[in-house]
Amino acid sequence: MPQPLTPATRARIAELLAQGATNKAIRRELGVDKTTAARYRARLGYGPAKQPTPANKSPLTLTEKWHTLARPVEGGHMEWTGRHRLNSGTMVLTHHGREYTARAVAFRIRTGRDPIGRVTAECDRPGCVAPQCVEDDPGRARHRAQFAALVGRATLLTECTAGHPTAVHRRYDRDGRPYCAACHALRDARRRATA
């Protein structure tokens, strides 16, 4: 049987409920039994209280938080003032308990969609996170192929020296030099196997 409440306590509960206080806040202020606040809430016809934003939960959106951590620098580039993953150095931020890479968020800011594969900056500034400088796998392939064509390095071969079709596996490095992604992956795998 819960302790009968004094008229003053009952009045204060009603007042706090009217102000939109949570059951927890009422319990904390008045030291009443756990179910009392909930019982009065139901009795007086108040719906569930709006939960306050917890201290560790940012009221900012992911994009807003990203902008507090990316500083514009000369030439339209941006540098990251946020956290880096210890082992890899990857630039990251945490939002509502989830970790995001700075460049994946930058990509989403520009394109409105999630990236496919890895996101890299295709500009010349190391560590750049500017939305207009980052590309995902398809964007990077397209961008580099255009650059290769501009600098006269686009390959006309239909196969690499190992016979992989270039239509599927041709990629370009940042300077427009063509390479075969299939051969590249094989070399990587071999290197890992012997390491």
Is 164 a binding residue for Zn ion by CB under 5 A? The answer is: yes
Nearer to Zn ion, 45 or 163 (CB): 163
Which residues lie closer than 8 Å to 86 by C-beta, 6 or more apart?
none
Quote the strand ranges of the chain, DSSP E.
70-72, 78-80, 83-84, 91-95, 98-101, 120-121, 134-135, 170-172, 178-180
Is 180 a binding residue for Zn ion by CB under 5 A? The answer is: yes
Nearer to Zn ion, 48 or 126 (CB): 126
Burial classification of residue 25, based on how many CB atoms lie within 10 Å of its CB (0-12 exposed, 13-18 middle, 19 or more buried) = middle
Nearer to Zn ion, 92 or 180 (CB): 180
Is 170 a binding residue for Zn ion by CB under 5 A? The answer is: no
| Per rule CB under 5 A, count of chain residues that contact Zn ion | 12
Q: 93, 83 in Cβ contact below 8 A?
A: yes
Nearer to Zn ion, 14 or 104 (CB): 104
Q: How far apart are CA 130 and CA 102, in angstroms?
A: 9
Is 181 a binding residue for Zn ion by CB under 5 A? The answer is: no
Stretch 82-141 residues interacting with Zn ion (CB under 5 A)? 123, 125, 128, 130, 133
Question: CA–CA distance from 190 to each of 160, 162, 163 (Å)?
Answer: 18, 15, 18
Q: Cβ 138 to Zn ion, closest distance in Å? A: 19
Determine which residue in the list 41, 65, 77, 170 makes contact with Zn ion, applying CB under 5 A: 77
Q: How far apart are CA 130 and CA 122, in angstroms?
A: 10
Contact window for Zn ion (CB under 5 A) among 12-20, 46-54, 88-96, 176-184: 176-184
DSSP assignment letter at 84: E
Nearer to Zn ion, 46 or 179 (CB): 179
Contact window for Zn ion (CB under 5 A) among 15-23, 59-67, 91-99, 175-183: 175-183
- What is the contact surface with Zn ion in residues (CB under 5 A)? 77, 123, 125, 128, 130, 133, 160, 162, 164, 180, 182-183
